[in-house]
Chain A
């Protein structure tokens, strides 16, 4: 596009006359006036029905709702950002800071509590098990079972077998690390504690034998 001289632009704007232009710009000014005169300046007459047609088109477009599958709509609902507003009142913030400071002092201060949860709990959770042999001397028994915390106290899950003819019953099984309580069940009805193991009250008027199985020493730490 041709860039007119500013004086020619003033001519086109009606601020100057052609005669007022310097001689070297008069040819340019004449040409510009010629081009301007060629423009059709007749008023544009819009058809009377134009407004009605435009408004009809807008109403039609508003009625057409795109069909979105249910799954897509659900996904959109889930992923649509949700604004959460947290209003922290000054007094609440102060109280929270004071509580946090007190907690830190209690947990870390001189003579304060120290949580020992963590490494010990993590390491002791490592799987470990040991073979353990259970022995009971029951010469008159027809059958002996072993029931305890390790087999949901199911007296038929772990039967003992006779070791020869001298009344000794025995079973060897793998137990996970930890402390277990158990008892022998003689002939399906009589609960007997292990005479070779410590026992504690079972809460039902009898006693349970106790055994601690492995998993208690690792990497120089007693667990």
Chain B
């Protein structure tokens, strides 16, 4: 096989450019935000993450957060290590759910669900439930949010399963956290609020103009303008 030398040079540049650029990016983002020792440790962890196909941005974000909150350097590094462990565990759980090469968005969503209190097998189960049109990342984000709102993790999995299997639309799935918050605001516990929420009619609430007489207006979501 004959190829011009520039073919070899281009190939070498492409192979080396990615990791070098990523390392420069990590260094640039951390500059002035964390002590040099923390930056060096995070660079090593970010390289390790990249080598394992994991996103490095969450590690940098966590280090920056630690620096902004005035946390001691060793504790920042420990927290970054913890995030790396969550990303690793999430990726393994997602792969066990038959997604051969999970993308960064799905891995981050899985790590969020783990941080919210879910377990690896539950992540795997949720990924398995995420058949088209439900993407695993969306399912994991919704499940993680529900768990973060106080719904027990096993009940969260069941709620998501029932929503998907009862033919709920994508909007029904995405609306679950807001509906749950609405019920909690009216005095229900998270577990009570989650019960029966999977039924599309329950999730959607009453038709427009037909307010439930005994429940009043749900509180307005303060995040929406």
Question: B-contacting residues of A (Cβ < 8 Å)?
Answer: 77-86, 106-107, 112-117, 120-121, 124, 131-135, 147, 149, 152-155, 172, 178-179, 181, 191, 194, 196-204, 206, 208, 210-212, 216-217, 220-223
Contacts and interface: CB of A to CB of B under 8 A. Distances in A.
B138 interface: yes
Interface stretch (B19-27, B36-44, B168-176, B201-209): B168-176
A212 B145 contact: yes
Nearest to B224: A133
Contacts of A198: 116, 145, 148-149, 177
Contact of B65 (A117, A131, A202): A202
Given A116-B136, A124-B105, A200-B112, A78 B64 contact: no
Interface string B124-150: 000000101111111101001100110
A116 B129 CA distance: 13
16 contacts: A78-B5, A79-B6, A81-B4, A82-B8, A84-B1, A113-B100, A116-B99, A116-B106, A196-B181, A198-B148, A201-B115, A210-B145, A212-B141, A217-B171, A222-B135, A223-B135
A172 to B, nearest CB: 6
A87 B2 CA distance: 14
A79 B75 CA distance: 53
Contacts of A83: 1-2
Q: What band does the interface of chain B fall in when counting residues whose beta carbon is under 8 Å from A?
A: 35 or more
Contact of A116 (B135, B141, B173): B135
A196 B223 contact: yes
Contacts, number: 159
A30 B4 CA distance: 67
Find the residue from A82, A83, A178 having the highest chain B CB count within 10 A.
A82
Where chain A touches its partner, the secondary structure class is: mixed
Contacts of B33: 152
A222 B99 contact: no
A159 to B, nearest CB: 15
B82 A203 contact: yes
A179 B100 CA distance: 23
Nearest 10 pairs of A and B residues by beta carbon: A203-B79, A198-B148, A222-B170, A153-B68, A113-B100, A221-B133, A121-B103, A222-B138, A115-B100, A120-B135
A120 B141 contact: no
A131 B65 CA distance: 23
